[in-house]
Structures are given as structure tokens and as C-alpha cells.
Amino acid sequence: MNFLLIFFTSLIFTIFFTPYFIAYLKKTKVVDLPGNRRIHSDIVPRMGGLLIFLVVSVMLLSFTEELNSVRLMIIAANVILLVGIFDDMLGLDYSAKFLLQLSSAVLLLFYLAPKFVKLKLFEVTIPYPLDYILLLLFIIGGINSINLLDGMDGLVSGFSLLVFSIIMALSIISHNTLLLILTTSLMGSILGFLKYNAYPAKIFLGDTGSLTLGFFLVVTSLLTSINFNQNVLDLTFPIMLLAIPLVDTLRVMAMRLLRKQNPFLPDKTHLHHIISNSSISHKFTVFFIESLTVIFIILSLYYIKVSHFVPLILFFTLVLFLIFIEPIMKLAGRFIEINYEFELFRKLPMKNVMLFEKGLIFLSSIMIAFIIIASLPQSTNLQSNILMTFFIIGLIMFFLAYGHQRKQKDASDIYTFINLAAFFTITNLNSPALFNLSLSSINLGQLTEISYYVLALIIILFLIASDKLFPVKKVILNGIDLTVIVFILLTFIVNSFIKFYFDEYFSVSFLEAFIFYLWYKVIISIKAEVTNILFYASFALPFAAILLLLLV
């Protein structure tokens, strides 16, 4: 349970301190200006990744028992951090940046060297000293490829969240405490940061963030490969895991060389530029890349857990897709036309639409109330001190949300989703009060499942009729919502490969929470006046579940 504490502490710290950090960066003029290769049109603070690094460092120093064993990794990470800070604040020429990155990579190499006896790549053992040279190239290339991927709001943050989640799941299996501390603190801080970094972003990672996240992605993927290959570093796994930024970087550099241009000069030929130029919106470009990321994660998971041949064939097929992404997107653009309008609802009289709306709200409210009552727990195996810890974390979240709502004059949706996820995680880890009851031939557990299907159908009907139902044209799903969808999908996929009950509970809990969250987003879009009521009601759910368990 320490790792849940690390996750939520990192999440709370990041959510709380990021607004103050944004104000500080604006005051000190550490901002990103629009123009040139920039997709954004506003002045946005950068260097937000510094906050993630600080939170992760605090967690690492607080929970790692033998700090001396990881001192080289910590020093290497701090060197990369300094590169990012200097680049964000002063600007570094490429040669200085490369030399500093090389020094960090060498330190990391010294840290990793005692942990593996040989290095393999695509089933081929690489002899000494080529293995060390190849590893240095991968470390530097991997870090920089993440930096180059950071071209859209929430892209690198969402990508990193997905990759760290699979590494965390694998570290639970291998009982690697260091990886668990790193991944849970990174996931918590990234999720908190995504609240402000997802489209439309209020703060950017900056080179500080993209380089340090790149560093941690590289080191955690390498350590995971060593853990699962009996002290053999199979470089194939990290390459498959980080395939999108790596292949994109190599593709862009190769194209520049073919055009006899400097391969290190920036341009607009990266993957996110190509997709967004194909009449696909900013947030759906990020969603598309994150969906591709999930496919590569599945292949890497299959590779490390099941067999090598099939995932390698599929991997190289997808690499070809990424290499020829530009002509593929141009061809697809000729045939794909998305139309969100539905003639049936556009032709309905407004009177009928209002009846339709009231009926759906009434029915969905009944479904919501029934599911909540049926899910309330009656017994638990969790100790009272753990429940009290969750209760205190919930109180901290409540006061943070209250302060944010009073200051910003709006309810932040991320708090609502976290509350719902906490409620369903608590209830799924314990025994629901009503599930053992039955009505004729059907038990209430089955009724609850049916209620979810009905609720999901109602939400779909709301979305289909959105042009008529919503008073103004409003975007229901923002950037972080789409990232959460991909993340939930990934948790189910991971559980199909790595079967342990805790992950299964999380998968189901996140899905149930997201269905409720979608209902919340739809309702506040139609009835804005109930936003605060539903927002604060979401805090009551986990508190009620915890208090019930403390009283039994």
C-alpha cells in the first residue's frame, strides 16, 4: 500500500503546486512564444517538468532504503535536468547539449553495467565493446527522441503515463521496489500535471520536462528488460516500447539527409505535424498517437512475456507504417470525412427534444442512484489505518479542490474523476452490501451490470443528440479525457497478459468511474447550474464508503 501512498502524494503535490509554479514562470518570463514551428498561438509558461522531477526526487529519497546503490542514476538524472533548465532559460547550442547528455549517458552506463552480463538486439548478441557503444547511442537517442516528440499539448505527458503504467505492472511481478517507486511517483505527478498540460495547455513540460521524462523512460525500460531476461539486457524491449519517438526521429533525420539538409535542424515533418496537417484536431492527433502507443506496448508486453517471433514481425510492419505515415495520411484524407450531425435529431421539434432530454436525465439519474447504493461496501479486509490514510488523502483533495474552485470560479473535472475512481476502487476491493441479495431469479449484481449498460446507452444518446440538447456548442471530451480513455483500455490489455487481482480491480474501477464521469460531463453541459452540486457530491462518495467500512 506504500505505492498507493506514493502515487496519491505525488498526484496531490503536483495538482497543488502547479498553479503557483505557472504564476512564477509567467512572472520570471520563462515562457514559450508562438510562431515558427509552434502549434500554439498563445504565450504559455514552459519548464513545467521541473515540478515533476522535484516530486519524483522527494519520493525516491523518502522511500528508497539504499540510496547509495542508485547514486549514479540520480547524478545522471540531475545532469539531464540541468541541460533542460539551461536550455529553457538560456538556450544551449547543440554541441554543448550533446556533451552534457553524453556525460549523463556515461554515468547511467556505469550504473547499468554491473546489472547485465550481455546485450542482445533482435535476437543477436552484441559483442564488447560494441554493446556499450550501442547502449550509449540508445540512451542519448531515446532521451532526445522524447524531447522531439514534445510538440503538442499533453502528448509526451500522455505517452509517458501509458509507458510507465506497463513498466509499473511488470515491476509488481518482478518485485522491483526501485521501479515501483519511480513509476508510481512519475504516474502520480504526470497525471496531476496533465490537468494543466493537456489541450489546451496552461503550462508546457519544456526541455526540462521532456528530457527528464525521456531519461526516466529509458532507464526504467532498460531495468525492466534486465529483470525479465535473467541479467541479459535485451534492447529489443525498450526499442519496441519507445518505438514511436525513436522511429519518428530516425525517419525525420533520414529525410533531412536525403534532402541534403542539416539533420539536427528543426522543421515540421514530425509525426504530430503530419497527422494534425491532415485536418485532424489537436486533441485527436494526441489521441491517435497514444492509441498507436498502446499497440506498441501490447507488442512489447507480448515479446517480454510470451514469445518473440510474432511481435517482431508485427513490430517491423508497424515501423513501415510510421516510416510512410505522410503518404498514408494524405491518401486517407481523401476518403475519410467525419460528420457529427444526425438528421433524426436535427429535424425533431424543440418541444420533443426537451421531453427527450428530461426523460434521459430522469432515467440516467435512477441508474446512477441504484449503482451507487448497490456498490456501497459492507465489509473489508483493509486495516483501519489504511482506511484512515485514504480518508486523510480525500480531505486534502477536498480542500485543494475547494481552493481551486473558489480561486478559478470553476470546478475542475479531474477531481471528479479521481473521486469516482477512488470510490469504485474502494467498493470493488471490498464486499458490496447488496450484491448477495436477489430479486426472483436475478441478483442485484447482475442488475447493477445491466444498469451500467443502460447508463452507457443513455450517454451515447446524449452525445448523438448533442447539437439539439446542448445550449451552446460545447466540447464534451478534452485532451486529458481522451488520454484517460487510452489509459483505461491499456489497463484491461495489461490485465489480459498479467493476471493479478489488484490490476483487474483497478481496470474495472477506472471503467466504472469513467462511465459516471461521462454522465457528469454530459449533465453539466446541459444543466450548468448543477455543476457545483455534482462536483462536491463526488467527494461524498469515497468519504461515505470509507466511513461505512470504519464503522463495520
Segment 48-102, tens digit of pLDDT: 999 999 999 999 998 988 888 899 999 999 999 999 999 988 888 888 899 999 9
Q: Are 299 and 400 part of one and the same domain?
A: no
Burial of residue 500 (number of CB atoms within 10 Å: 0-12, 13-18, 19+)? exposed
304/392 same-domain check: no
Domain boundary among 317, 335, 353: 335
> d(Cα 196, Cα 177) in Å, to the nearest integer?
29
Are 423 and 297 in the same domain? no
pTM exceeds 0.95: no
Judgement on whether residues 83 and 120 belong to the same structural domain of the protein: yes
User: d(Cα 484, Cα 271) in Å, to the nearest integer?
Assistant: 21
Among residues 335, 363, 379, which one ends one of the domains? 335
The 10 Å CB-count burial string (b at 16+, else e) for 142-158 is bbbbbbbbbbbbbbbbb
Sign of the torsion angle spanned by Cα atoms 122, 124, 125, 128: negative
Residues 55 and 192 both lie in one domain: yes
Domain final residue pick, 309, 335, 361: 335
CA distance 485 to 488: 5
Q: Are residues 152 and 205 in the same domain?
A: yes
Q: Do 356 and 323 sit in the same domain of this protein?
A: no
Helix axes 501-526, 350-375, angle to 10 degrees: 150
pLDDT at 349 (0 to 100): 59
Q: How many separate domains does the chain show?
A: 2
- Give the model's pLDDT for residue 502: 52
* Whether residue 347 sits in one domain with residue 329: no
pLDDT of residue 410: 63
φ, ψ for residue 124 (rounded to 5)? -105, 130
pLDDT value at position 10? 92
Residue 341 has a pLDDT of: 42
Q: What pLDDT is recorded for position 437?
A: 47
> Are residues 64 and 12 part of one domain?
yes
DSSP string spanning 127-150? PTTHHHHHHHHHHHHHHHHHHHH-
Contacts of 110 (CB under 8 A, 6+ apart): 72
**How far apart are alpha carbons 425 and 431 in whole angstroms?**
12
Q: What is the pLDDT of residue 342?
A: 45
Q: What is the pLDDT of residues 417-448, one digit of tens each?
A: 989 988 988 887 766 554 444 444 445 667 78
How far from 113 is each of 128, 215, 363, 416, CA to CA, in Å?
12, 17, 61, 45
CA dihedral 137, 76, 58, 176 (to 10 degrees): 60
Q: State which residues form the domain around 494.
A: 343-551
d(CA 227, CA 47): 33
Residues of the chain whose pLDDT is less than 50?
336-344, 434-442
Strand partners, 268: none
In this structure, the answer to whether residues 285 and 253 fall within a common structural domain is yes
Q: What is the pLDDT of residue 255?
A: 85
Do both 120 and 72 map to the same domain?
A: yes
Q: Is 136 exposed, middle or buried (0-12, 13-18, 19+ CB in 10 A)?
A: middle
At 160 the pLDDT is 95
Note whether 88 and 46 are within 8 A (CB).
yes
Sign of the dihedral through C-alpha 79, 85, 87, 90: negative
Statement to judge: residues 130 and 241 lie in one domain? yes
Instruction: Note the pLDDT of residue 133.
Output: 94
Task: State the pLDDT at residue 411.
Answer: 61
Q: What is the pLDDT of residue 496?
A: 66
